[in-house]
Each structure stands twice: as structure tokens, then as C-alpha cells.
Amino acid sequence: MSTDEQGYALITGGSQGIGAAIALELARKGFGVIVTARSEAALQAVRTQAAALNGGRAHALVVDLLEPDGPDRVLRSIRELRVPLTCLVNNAGHAHWGLFGEEPMTEHRKLMRLNMDVPVQLTHALLPELKKAKRAYILNTSSMTAFHALASMALYAASKAFILRWSRSLRIELKGTSVSVTAVCPGAVITGFTARAGMQAMDDLAKKFGTPPEPVAKSAVAAMLKGAPEVVPGILNKLTRVFQGLMPMSVNEGAASGIYLKRLPRRKASS
């Protein structure tokens, strides 16, 4: 398949971490890339790197998807670019750490908006365009937390479970069309996630068990191009998933929640 046939991929949250790594991996595979995020300097750096990999077929859209008109601005820009869109990567996300009842509703709204509403809105709007392509892909970033409840990250885990179930359902609905849907469910990834989510107390575990975003991106893109329904990147995460399947859900949820609750700062746990 030539680079022209690959078309363009829109990657949300493309300025850093998994999103940036996926954008660069897609550029290596011959896709044009359109990265969007609110961090202009980091976004332009990714655009420049992607352009060097795919012959200059890279664009950056500086948009805050949490703004009421954020997704609509992205959609308008896509139409104005007049490029063949063949891939949508719903990667932008938000997380915060704390007991559900103690965290402000503003944080809950941000998480639900960015993790669920925005992917649904963009996918619904862009699906007709994707269906026009001979081959098209939707790649949704879920998480290992999608497989179990997680106290102190209740809404985050729930939002990732939503992404996984929605991806599976959408995949079935799109059977027989040119569009395949893949969900990637990474474990801990070394991306600065803990700092952004206020989870510095988990840094040692993230560094010990986490992986860089590049291998996650390679696994995600490879699974997407194969048309796989979902992928859990990394041997350790795959083994964890196997063991989870052998244990009662209550054991899995109690063990995972216990780790997070034990490290939750006292001011958050008891405020």
C-alpha cells in the first residue's frame, strides 16, 4: 500500500506519551498524521518529527478538547484540510486520584467529558468519512483498569471500561464495512501520567513496572492494522490479564484497590 493509499490519521492527545508515540509510529507506516492537543510547543515538536518520517504529511491542531467548541473546531479543521481520513485515534484522556465523594465535581466532569464524550462525538462525526475509505481504522485507548473496578480511581476505571465495551460493540456494528475498531489496554506507561493525575506517591511503582510509550504504540498500531479487536501490550501485562481471568473478580478488585488506597495521601483519604 502506498503512502497516498494510507491516507491520514487524526490522533487526539498527540503532544506527548502514548498519543505522540502512536502518531510517530503511524507516520513510519506511511500515514499522514494530524495531531491535536492543547500544548502548542510539544505538539509542533511531534508534527516536525512525524513530517520527517512521512515526507511532510503532518499537521498540528492546537485545540483544548475540554472547551465546549473544542471537538467542533477539530472537525472544522479536518474539513478545511481536505485530506483523506482513514484512521481515528481517540487517545486524549484525563485522570485524577482520590475518593469519589471527596473529589470536586469539576474534576469528574472533565474526566467524563474527555474520556467518554469527546471520543463518541468525534467518532460519530467522522465515521461517514471513514466508511468512504477502502480500508479504515478506529483505535481507542482504554486501559488495564477497564477489566476491574479500582477504588480511588473509580471514574477513570469506569471510563476506560466504557471505551472497551463501546469499542467492542462498535466493532460488531461495523462488521462488513471497511472500518475496523481496535482497543488498546496498556498497563503502567512512563509518560508523566502520575504527575498529571496527582499520583506522585505511585511514581516508584510506575517506574518499576511501567514501560515507555514507544513499545505500547508499536503494539497498538500493529494490532490495529491487523484488524484485531483489542490488545494488551507487554508480556507482564498479558500475564497479569491471564491471572486476572483465573481469579474471582472480588480478589482482583480488592488487590488492585488496596495498592492504590494504601498509597493515597492521607489528606485525600481522610479530608
Catalytic site residue 260?
no
Please give the Cα distance from 124 to 43 (Å, whole number): 25
Strands lying side by side in the sheet with 179-184: 58-62, 32-37, 8-12, 85-90, 136-141, 179-184, 230-231
Judge contact between 199 and 99, C-beta under 8 A. Answer: no
Please give the Cα distance from 103 to 100 (Å, whole number): 6
Please give the Cα distance from 59 to 43 (Å, whole number): 9
Q: In sequence order, which residues have a C-beta less than 8 Å from that of residue 194 and are 6 or more positions away?
A: 200, 202, 203, 206
Judge contact between 61 and 40, C-beta under 8 A. Answer: no
Catalytic residue among 8, 137, 156, 260: 156
| Among 45, 43, 49, 42, residue whose Cα is nearest residue 26 | 49
| Among 169, 145, 168, 164, residue whose Cα is nearest residue 155 | 145
| Among 148, 150, 96, residue whose Cα is nearest residue 258 | 150
Q: Which residues are catalytic?
A: 156
